[in-house]
A = this chain, B = another copy of it.
Amino acid sequence: MDKLHSLYNFLDLAGTFVFAISGAVAAKQQRLDLFGICAIAFTVACGGGIIRDICIGAIPPAGLTNWHYLVTAIIASGMTIGLYAFVQRLNHPVQFFDALGLSLFAVTGAQKSLAYGHNAEVAVLLGITTAVGGGVLRDILLNRVPLILEKEIYASAALLGALIVVLGYYTKILSSDWISLIALITCFGLRLLALHYRWNLPNYSK
């Protein structure tokens, strides 16, 4: 399973990278300066995880201690600035990796909460928070209503992923690696299908 773990590390940084790109693009569109772009990129990439770590008592938060995340966010910001025309054409790949980041953060967020000895509800709620927290902070900082609360099935996919991790943890039917993989694929697949078919949750507006 060692290969699987290095795969996870790679995917974790890939998720961080893509979330950072989405933050940098939004910040650039708002005409923030160099520091502002890096700050928003880092916030989107690490904000959800930092809130999770504060809530489960993992002090200091991994997003602040592990330089991999900061460097990844800075590289993503640099790329967004230097290759903006290219990044703009990346719409589909960005959505693809964003869905991957969402799934991965939901799974690892729920796992880390369980690993710190917290209960099922904490794990599900903080799995969702890890996955969507950064995007919500981005929208708060850029002064708009968080997109994820309006869009196609997004946070709900994270909910499903976190739920599978928690169910697997308590039923112990499969090893935790297999459960993670299933949760990851389910969340990722649901998000891609929702994007493709424009599935939405009902919104009850008249």
8 Å CB contact of A33 from B31, B64, B142, B200:
B200
B122 touches A60 (CB 8 A): yes
Q: Kindly list chain B residues whose C-beta atoms are within 8 Å of the C-beta of A145.
A: 30, 32, 141-143
A13 sits at the interface (CB 8 A):
no
Contact-residue size bin, chain A (C-beta under 8 Å from the other chain): 35 or more
Residues of chain B contacted by A59 (CB below 8 angstroms): 55-57
Find out whether the CB atom of A121 lies under 8 angstroms from the CB atom of B34: no
Closest B residue by C-beta to A57: B59
Interface of A is mostly: helix
Residues of B contacting A142 in the complex (Cβ-Cβ under 8 angstroms): 145
**Chain B residue nearest in CB terms to A50:** B55
A204 touches B28 (CB 8 A): yes
Q: How far is the CB of A134 from chain B (nearest CB, A)?
A: 15
The residues of B that contact A143 with a CB separation of less than 8 Å are: 143-145
A64-B140 Cα distance, complex, nearest whole Å: 22
State the CA gap A60–B144 with chains docked (Å).
Answer: 29
Binary CB contact string for chain A from 84 to 122 against chain B (1 if under 8 A, 0 otherwise): 100000000000000000000000000001000011011
A sample of 28 cross-chain residue pairs with beta-carbon separation below 8 angstroms, ordered by A number, consists of A27-B149, A28-B205, A30-B145, A31-B204, A31-B205, A32-B145, A32-B149, A32-B203, A33-B150, A33-B202, A34-B202, A34-B204, A35-B156, A37-B204, A39-B149, A39-B155, A40-B149, A54-B54, A56-B60, A57-B59, A65-B119, A65-B121, A65-B122, A67-B121, A81-B204, A84-B204, A143-B144, A143-B145
Contact status of A201 and B64, CB under 8 A, knowing A141-B145, A149-B39: no
